[in-house]
Amino acid sequence: MSETSLDGLRRPDSVQDQEALSLGTALRGMRETRGLSLSEVSARIKYSAVQLEYLEACDWSRLPEGVPLRGLVRNYARFLETDVDAVLKLLDDAVGPTRPRPAVTALGARRVLQQADMTPKGEPAHRTWAWLLLILVLFCVVGVYAVNRGWVPEQWLVFDWLKALRQ
């Protein structure tokens, strides 16, 4: 196996060779060729040594799925100065596609998503109007109280019914 490249790896001819060419063994081989321990790599790429050990053992059930797993493998491959795309291809071959899915593909779906995101899940949209109505009523009550107590100057009372409240 080459020190920093996956090009030197031969393609598997049998099931036993397929296991030998797994992502974990390739990463372990490159790490050991550089004379690095799991704790040294862990300190540099900020993933735990246990996660790196699970990755090298191809124990996918103990690792995150999707994009976080892809980030772990990408950072590990960058640290080992190897072909990141080739390592990510090995990852996709091992666990399936890990690329992030596009958020919205159709214009109609985009409008539905935006409307659905306006209110929190489970909370009816009419509660917003209820809060606004409550605040409006509160302002009116405070205003009438202020006029009744004489806290508002006489020249501000432009309507006769407001002047009647004062007396």
- How do the domains of the chain map onto residue ranges? 15-95, 124-166
pLDDT attached to residue 119: 57
Q: Tell me how long the chain is.
A: 167
Instruction: Please list the pLDDT of the chain residue by residue as tens digits (167 residues).
Output: 444 555 444 444 444 344 446 889 999 999 999 999 999 999 999 899 999 999 999 998 899 888 889 999 999 999 999 999 999 998 988 888 877 776 655 555 555 555 555 555 555 666 778 888 999 999 999 998 998 888 988 888 888 888 887 77
pLDDT attached to residue 57: 92
pTM for the structure as a whole: 0.52
pLDDT attached to residue 139: 94
pLDDT attached to residue 1: 41
pLDDT attached to residue 10: 40
Q: What is the CATH T-level fold of the domain 15-95, as seen in this structure?
A: 434 Repressor (Amino-terminal Domain) (1.10.260)
DSSP string, 69-132: HHHHHHHHHHHTT--HHHHHHHHHHHH---SPPPS--SHHHHHHHHHHTSS-TTS-THHHHHHH
Residue that has been written with the tokens 């490249």 in this structure:
5
* CA 62 vs CA 44, 50, 117, 137, 148: distances in Å: 21, 10, 32, 56, 70
The span from the CA of 103 to the CA of 106, in Å, is 10
pLDDT attached to residue 124: 61
Give the amino acid at 72.
Answer: L
pLDDT attached to residue 97: 82
Q: Tell me the angle at which helices 49-56 and 23-33 cross, rounded to the nearest 10 degrees.
A: 120
pLDDT attached to residue 67: 87
